[in-house]
Each structure stands twice: as structure tokens, then as C-alpha cells.
Amino acid sequence: MARFIVRRLFTMFLTMFIVSMLVFAIVEIAPGNVARNILGAYATPEQEKSMENQLGLDRPIIIRYISWLLGSDWQVSRRLGMPVKEIVISQGVVERYHQWWAVDENGDLVQWDVEGGKLIKLVRQPDGSVVQVLDDQSWKFDEDGNAYFWGLDTANRAALWMPGQEGTEYRLEYSGWIEAADSPVDYIPMSKGLLRGDAGISLRYKRPVSEVIGRRISNSLILAALAFSVSIPIAIVLGLIAGLNEGKPVDRLISLGGLITAASPDFATGILLIMIFGMWLKILPGATVFLSETAIFKDPRMLILPVLTASLVEIGYVLRITRSSVVEVMNSAYVRTAVLKGLSQRQVVLRHVLRNALMAPITVIMLHVNWFIGGLVVVESVFGFPGLGNFILNAALYKDVYAIEAGAMVLIALAVGTQLIADIIYSLINPRIRYA
Amino acid sequence: MSTASFQEDIARPKQPPQPVAPLPEQLGAARRFFAGLWKRVRDLIEIITASPTAVVGLIMVLFWVFVAVFAPLITTYSPLEQDYKAINQPPSAAHILGTDQLGRDVWSRLAYGARTILTLGPASVLVAFLLGIALGLPSGYYGGAIDETVMRILDALMAFPTILLYMIIISAVGPSHFNVVIAIAIGGAPGIARLVRALTMDIRTREYVAAAKLRGDSDFTIMVREILPNCRGPLIVDFLMRIGYAAFYIGTLGFLGLGLPPPTPDWGGMVQQGHNHMMANVWPVLSATLAIITLVIGLNMFADGVREESMRYQ
């Protein structure tokens, strides 16, 4: 058993590793570059180039992949020759700022800036204020005698200043384009990397993705858990009823209903339910408006339609598998024997049919996790539910690359993890597959 | 279906008796081909008519095929023509299903939308099959390192919930007819590759494959001429199932705003826009929703009926 779990864990990590490469490749290598998506269609090539430089998009793809996964702080720390540190400054309840500082030999937190060709060290004081110190002796010189300096700037980037060949930095502020002089020629954005819980800054929210995404994940898990616990018992009971009454009208009715609900696209089912319950009967909120991300607990009636929609597809699917499994078991020799030796219908069903007939649905539910999660994404978008699926969809529509990447990785990790757990549970129930 | 038809294939002589009048080599091949094709079509009809589910499904699908083919004849308005004097109209003699928020005729958009979904669906499944066969056939035939590499990549692709894969592909390359087909093909290919691989691993041990090796056929010839044709039973059933999925996903992508670019008549997009204007006029969203449901259910019932009936053959 332990060997089985270890082997499955290993393949899971391998899969996730390849998945991370695929996600990164699809999102970042694909034509239509990230800088233009941020800047819009009217940016000049110089502005685009400057933006790419500032986001670190001009670095080699392998380096970018490693930085995305494992962070860039250790790379920067090596260039600077001193450790770097991330501090979080809280203002009020939700406003949080992340700042990167280097730690100099005195233990002070420092950043740098260049003004008029002079290098200025910004030293952070314990009370949060900043003292400027002229730091011109820190310039380093290459073989040709040109001065250069790698330091941290005030916008969470490692920057390379080279006096005499300043780049021009274009920044998009609320007031429009700002052209800054004395700018660094190269940048490395600071991050801790996905594996260390930092997925980069969302281009849309201007906040770390990891802070925006947490609430969304738990909302989605609640929706999934509700839908799952509603659909599976109903599906199994209906499947049993249909299977035990094979060929009778009740079986026909349940089977047809199962086929229709399983085949209908989730969004169509959702829209029909909104029309029926929200528009015509007016008994449930038709448009589920969530004003805040925690609102799902305030009005449980809002949850009814999303859960119902997500459940219906699953009910149809599991019901059909259960039914065919029950039919198969009912026609088996051991059930015939049980009937012939005089057991009551009840005893036959409870002791012989149930256990054997439920094996197939469990397998199928396990293989069905991805389909179920895909359905949840659609349901969330139909109802405007503040979950992970909706988050990824909006990120995809706005081309918020770091949010797409993080959301996709979390969703896939959840799917793969669920499958692993289901695998282990299944191998406990059915020892035969352990050695397959 | 699989085992029965394989054995039938083994039993059937490879070369039918030569006709009395000597025919040119090519003509004989053509005749043989059409005789084979006709037998297959007859088998298929037999399978379909044996299952009431398949018949009902086929009727639902054929209705939309008919609408798609004759769209210009059965509609009076262009699907793109906007009439700002008549927006959000309920059904009337002029517009049998009313008009949408831009004054476009809903029935016209529905009919031309059937064209969109019924061409993109099969096209994407076809591309998916080409990809899947190209990956699965060598993987199952050679085994070893090739198989191991291909399978790891496919495992990773299959770890993606399908909708998620489509979302990130489309957001990266942008929505267009071509990109939707490619995205759906990439999503479907791993499943097909696994099926082809499993079938290939089974078939490569057969005697006729050994015979082909003995007479010096190249690996490529063996894969394409001996193994692939003998996979066709399960592959045909899978193909039918996947057209249903493709229609499902094309509709879903359209609804999520990741489908075809706006003026294109597209059912999923119609549902999304209709949803936003539901209170003003329920007809556009209702008709597009029912259209996609009937088409997808029809395709599913058809594929299901065929699958069950062909399993009974075993």
C-alpha cells in the first residue's frame, strides 16, 4: 500500500511539473505578447519595449520559467552581493503593500535611486520613514571603465543603472504616459515564485495574485462540496430505482431524464433554471449578485440555483452509470442464486446488489473530477459566483497572465490532488487494482 | 463490435476472387473499395435503426443539419442585418422568433448559427483525430521510450479540466474560427491518442501484422494499412461521441465570451447576450438555449444508441 501511494505521489509531481511547463508555455510564449496586452493597441514600439524590459519579459524563457516557479529574489541577491527581504506594510484592514528591500552590512533595509547621475541610497528607518544618503562610492566599473550598479529600485524591481547610457522608462500612470529620465537599463521583477506562494502581481487588481485568489478558492470549494453532496446521493438512489425496475416506465422516465441532464451544456441548464425560477415563478433570485466576496453566506437562497445547476449534470451522469451497473449485477449468477435460495428482495438488494453495483459509480466519479470542475467554472460564470473559475475566466478575458497562470495551477493541483485521494480510497475498497 | 469485426476481418480473404472479365487493376480496387464502403454503410444503418434512442437522436440532429444546409432558403433576413427601429421584438409574422437587442432576426441567427456549430464541431473532431492518431499509433506500436514520453505529456494534458485548457489557449491566441477548432482539437487529442494506443497494443500482436512484417512492409505501412483500419470500430463510436462534446464545448466557449468574434452567429454567444437582455426580451436567449440543448442531446442520443447497439454485437 505504501509503495502504491509513493508511486502515485511521484507520478503526480511529474504530471504537475509538465503541467507547469505547459501552462507557462501556452500563456507566455503564445503570439500576442504580454506587454501589448497591458498597453493596448496604441502603444509605440519604444513604450512596448520599455514595458517588456520592466516586466522582465526580455529575459531568456528558461530564466523566466525558473523565476516564475522558484522566484527571482535569490538571483537578485547574488547580483547585489547582499540578502534581500520582503516586508508587508498593512494600512487599514485590507490595504497591504509588499516591499522588497536589500539588507546592507549594518542590517539596515535599503533601496536605491539615481538622480542626476548620482547614486542615492534610501535607508528605511524603524518608524517607516526613509533617509536619503549619497552613495556614489558604490558604483562598480567594468573592464572598459564604465560605471554600473545593480540595486533595488522603489517599485519592487532589481535594476541595473549605467550612467551615460540611461534608458528611458515609460510608465503608464493614471494621468497618462510618464517618461522618466535617469532610468535603469535592465530590470528583474522581484518575486518569491509560485512554489513559495507568490504568483506575481495581478495586472488587473494591481495586487499580489496570492492575496486575491485565496477567498475565491474557498468559495469554489464550498460550491463544489455542496453540489457534490447534493448530487451523489440523489444520483445513486435514482440509479438504483431505475436499475431495479429495468424496462418499466419508471426506469424509462429516470433514464431519459438522466440522459437529458447529463448531455445538456451546464450554461444552458443554468439559463433555463434562471428563466423558470427567477423570471417566471419569481421564487428564487434570478440574477445572483454577489456584492462582496463573502456574500455567499448572507443569503443562502442565492446558492440554490448555482448548486442545482452544478448538481444536475452530475446527477444525470452518475445516475446512468449506477443504473447500468445495477442492471448488470441483477443479471449475474450470484444474485439469481440469492433469489432462488429464498432471500427477500430487500436482503438481496442490500447484501448482494448494493456493494457490487456501487463499485462502477465510484470509479466513474473518480475519473469524472475534471469534468465536474470544468462544469463548476461554467456555473460560476453563469451566476457571477465569486469563485476560482470565474476568477480564471475574467483573467483570461483581461489577459491577466499571472492570474491565469496561478489560477490554472491551483485548479489543476486541486483536480490532481482529488484524483489522488480518490485513487487511494478506491484501492482500499478494491485491493485488486493496487498491483495493476 | 471490436472483437467480432476483427475476427470477421481475419476470416475475410484479403483478395476477393478475380472477376471473370479481367478489369484494369485500378478499377478493381475502386470497385472493391465501394463494395466495402457500401457494406459498412449498410451495417451502420442496421445498427442505427435497431436502436430507438439512436433514431430519435438522429432525427434531432438531422433537423439542425437541414436548417443549416438550407439556411438561406428558410430565412428572410440576413443574420447580421441590424434594425434599430425594431429591437427586442417578440415573435410576430415578420420575425417568427422576434429580434434581439440589436434588431437582428433571431431565427436567421439561429439558422446560420447551426451552420457555424455543425461545421466547426466535426472539423475540430477531425483535427483531434489526426493529432490523436499521430500520437497514439507510434506510441502503441513502438512502446518503450517513445511511449513513455508521449504518455507523460498526454497525462499532463489530461490533468487539465477541459474548459480550463480551452480558456487559456483561447486567451493566449485570441478567439477565431481557426483557434476554436485548434483548441478543441488539442483538448480532445489526448483521449483519442490513449484509445488508439490501447487498440494498437492489442492489434500489433495479431498474425496479420506478423505477416506484414515478414513480407517486409515498413513500420509506417503496417501502422496505416494494417493496424489503423482494424481500429475503426471503436474509433467510429468515439468519433460520434466526440462530435457531441465538441458541440457542447463550442457552445460553452461562445457563452463564456471566448468563442467566435462578435458578429458571427453563434449559439453560445447568443445565449450570453440574450441573458443580459433577458428582462427586455426572453425569446433570443430561450431559442438559442433550446437550440443548443436539442442539438447536443440529439448528438449524444445518437452516439449512445450506436454505441450500445454495437456493444451488443460483441
Among A4-18, A354-368, B128-142, B269-283, name the most confident range: B128-142
Interchain pair A271, B289: CB under 8 A: yes
Task: Tell me the one-letter amino acid at A1.
Answer: M
Minimal Cα distance from A16: which residue of B? B156
Instruction: Measure the CA–CA gap between A336 and A349, rounded to whole angstroms.
Output: 12
- Interchain contact A411–B (C-beta under 8 A): yes
Instruction: Measure the CA–CA gap between A395 and B204, rounded to whole angstroms.
Output: 46
Instruction: Give a three-class secondary structure readout of chain B.
Output: CHHHHHHHHHHCCCCCCCCCCCCCHHHHHHHHHHHHHHHHHHHHHHHHHHCHHHHHHHHHHHHHHHHHHCHHHHCCCCCCCCCCCCCCCCCCCCCCCCECCCCCEHHHHHHHHHHHHHHHHHHHHHHHHHHHHHHHHHHHHHCHHHHHHHHHHHHHHHHCCHHHHHHHHHHHHCCCHHHHHHHHHHHHHHHHHHHHHHHHHHHCCCHHHHHHHHCCCCHHHHHHHHHHHHCHHHHHHHHHHHHHHHHHHHHHHHHHCCCCCCCCCCHHHHHHHHHHCCCCCCHHHHHHHHHHHHHHHHHHHHHHHHHHHHHHCC
- Interchain contact B251–A (C-beta under 8 A): yes
| B64 touches B295 (CB < 8 A) | yes
Cell of A262: 447529463
Lowest mean per-residue pLDDT among A90-104, B150-164, B269-283: A90-104
What is the domain partition of chain B in residue ranges? 112-314
- Interchain contact A247–B (C-beta under 8 A): no
- Interchain contact A16–B (C-beta under 8 A): yes
Interchain pair B279, A11: CB under 8 A: no
pLDDT in tens, A136-153: 777 888 777 778 888 888
pLDDT at A321: 87
Write the residue in A263, A370, A399 that is nearest to B300 by C-beta: A263
For cell 468515439, the residue is B238
pLDDT at A37: 66
Q: How far apart are the first and last CA of chain A?
A: 12
What is the domain partition of chain A in residue ranges? 54-197, 211-429
Give which of A16, A255, A267 to mutate to test B binding, by max B Cβ within 10 Å. Answer: A267
- Interchain contact A274–B (C-beta under 8 A): yes
Tell me if residue A376 falls in helix, strand or coil.
helix
Longest CA–CA span in chain A (Å) reads: 101
Instruction: Measure the CA–CA gap between A317 and A258, rounded to whole angstroms.
Output: 7
Interchain pair B159, A415: CB under 8 A: yes
pLDDT above 50: residue B3: no
- Interchain contact A203–B (C-beta under 8 A): no
Cell of A319: 445516475
Instruction: Measure the CA–CA gap between B163 and B268, rounded to whole angstroms.
Output: 14
pLDDT above 90: residue A330: no
Q: Which fold has domain B112-314?
A: MetI-like fold (1.10.3720)
pLDDT at B243: 92
Q: What share of chain A is helix, strand, coil (3-state, %, to 5)?
A: 60, 15, 25
Q: Which residues have a Cβ under 8 Å from the Cβ of B108 and sit 6 or more positions away?
A: B71, B75, B76, B77, B78, B79, B265
Write the residue in B152, B158, B296 that is nearest to A14 by C-beta: B152
Instruction: Measure the CA–CA gap between B289 and B302, rounded to whole angstroms.
Output: 20
Give chain B positions within 8 Å (CB) of A399: 171
Cell of A334: 450470484
β-strands A186-189, A84-91: how paired? unpaired
pLDDT above 90: residue A295: no
What is the enclosing helix (H) or strand (E) of A121? strand A118-124
**Domain A211-429: top CATH class:** mainly alpha
Give chain A positions within 8 Å (CB) of B251: 265, 267-268
DSSP string for residues in A304-328:
HHHHHHHHHHHHHHHHHHHHHHHHH
Interchain pair A374, B304: CB under 8 A: no
Interchain pair A265, B252: CB under 8 A: yes
Among A37-51, A96-110, A237-251, B256-270, name the most confident range: A237-251
Calculate mean pLDDT across residues B212-219: 87
Interface subset of B 70-99, CB within 8 angstroms of A: none
Lowest mean per-residue pLDDT among A33-47, B110-124, B235-249: A33-47
Lowest mean per-residue pLDDT among A33-37, A271-275, A280-284: A33-37
Interchain pair A267, B174: CB under 8 A: no
pLDDT at B9: 47
Interchain pair B271, A393: CB under 8 A: no
The residues with which A152 forms a beta bridge, in sequence order, are A158
pLDDT above 90: residue B127: yes
Report which of residues A41 and A416 the model is more confident about. A416
Give which of A370, A399, A402, A411 to mutate to test B binding, by max B Cβ within 10 Å. Answer: A370
Minimal Cα distance from A400: which residue of B? B171
Write the residue in A18, A262, A397 that is nearest to B153 by C-beta: A18
Taking one residue from A and the other from B, the number of pairs with CB-CB distance under 8 angstroms is 137
For cell 425594431, the residue is B86
| B272 touches B206 (CB < 8 A) | no
pLDDT at A433: 57
Cell of B225: 494499412
pLDDT at B103: 72
Task: Tell me the one-letter amino acid at A224.
Answer: A
Calculate mean pLDDT across residues B57-68: 91
Establish how many alpha carbons lie within 13 A of residue A201's alpha carbon, considering only the half-sphere containing its beta carbon.
16
Calculate mean pLDDT across residues A16-40: 76
Calculate mean pLDDT across residues B190-210: 89
Instruction: Measure the CA–CA gap between B156 and A159, rounded to whole angstroms.
Output: 37
ipTM above 0.85, yes or no: no
Instruction: Measure the CA–CA gap between B146 and B142, rounded to whole angstroms.
Output: 7
- Interchain contact A265–B (C-beta under 8 A): yes
Give which of A264, A271, A320, A410 to mutate to test B binding, by max B Cβ within 10 Å. Answer: A271
Give which of B110, B148, B160 to mutate to test A binding, by max A Cβ within 10 Å. Answer: B160
Confidence of residue A97 (pLDDT cuts 50, 70, 90): confident
Instruction: Measure the CA–CA gap between A213 and B249, rounded to whole angstroms.
Output: 26
| Mean pLDDT of the residues in chain A | 81
Confidence of residue B120 (pLDDT cuts 50, 70, 90): very high
Instruction: Measure the CA–CA gap between B282 and B287, rounded to whole angstroms.
Output: 9
For cell 447568443, the residue is B270
Closest CA relative to residue A413, chosen from A255, A220, A165 = A220
pLDDT at A432: 63
pLDDT at B20: 53
Minimal Cα distance from A371: which residue of B? B161
What is the DSSP code (8-state) at residue A170? E
pLDDT in tens, A169-225: 666 555 556 666 667 778 888 888 888 888 777 777 777 888 888 888 888 888 888
pLDDT at B6: 44
pLDDT in tens, A338-392: 888 888 888 888 887 887 787 777 777 777 788 888 888 899 888 888 889 889 9
Task: Tell me the one-letter amino acid at B219.
Answer: D
Confidence of residue A86 (pLDDT cuts 50, 70, 90): confident
What is the enclosing helix (H) or strand (E) of A176? strand A176-183
| B173 touches A32 (CB < 8 A) | yes
- Interchain contact B248–A (C-beta under 8 A): yes
- Interchain contact A273–B (C-beta under 8 A): no
pLDDT above 90: residue B123: yes
The C-alpha of B26 sits at a distance from chain A's nearest C-alpha, in angstroms, of: 46
- Interchain contact B286–A (C-beta under 8 A): yes
| Mean pLDDT of the residues in chain B | 83
pLDDT above 70: residue B312: yes
Alpha helices in A141-276 (DSSP H): 209-244, 249-263, 266-273
The C-alpha of A75 sits at a distance from chain B's nearest C-alpha, in angstroms, of: 28
Burial of B93 (0-12, 13-18, 19+ CB in 10 A): exposed
pLDDT above 60: residue A291: no
Give chain B positions within 8 Å (CB) of A271: 271, 275, 285, 289
